[in-house]
Amino acid sequence: MEKEEETREILLPNWQGSGSHGITIDQTDDGVFVKRVQQNSPAAKMGVVKEGDQIVSATVYFDNLQSGEVTQLLNSMGHHTVGLRLQRKGDKSPLPGQSWSHDVFTASSPEVVL
């Protein structure tokens, strides 16, 4: 019986874009892999990201995105598998500090057709 490979999800808070966490990735025909973890970087200090790890997916939390960034992000996905984590009003928030204390849909909310 083949041993199933271990997968794990890590959280990289305060993502500032390329280079912000010290992870260099390489995309090959076999997938996306961690090529290098910069010494003393936030990723190295976490100790959970290792060279050779395959990145099989990424989660982007919408809580701090500016107006229009969600639309731009979703529109850029093209023909790829996209997973959506959904939450209903009244459900407990998946992230600390978030709540449904305000009206979710406002007149200024942009409409996106997925």
Q: Are strands 23-28 and 54-55 parallel, antiparallel or unpaired?
A: unpaired
Query: What's the pLDDT tens digit per position in 2-33?
Result: 555 678 888 877 777 777 788 899 999 999 99
Handedness of CA 96, 54, 43, 14 (dihedral sign): negative
Q: How far apart are CA 63 and CA 46, in angstroms?
A: 23
- Sorted by where each begins, the domain ranges of the chain are 23-75
**Model pLDDT for residues 71-91, shown as the tens digit of each residue:** 888 888 877 777 777 767 666
Q: Where are the alpha helices (DSSP H) in the chain?
A: 42-46, 69-75
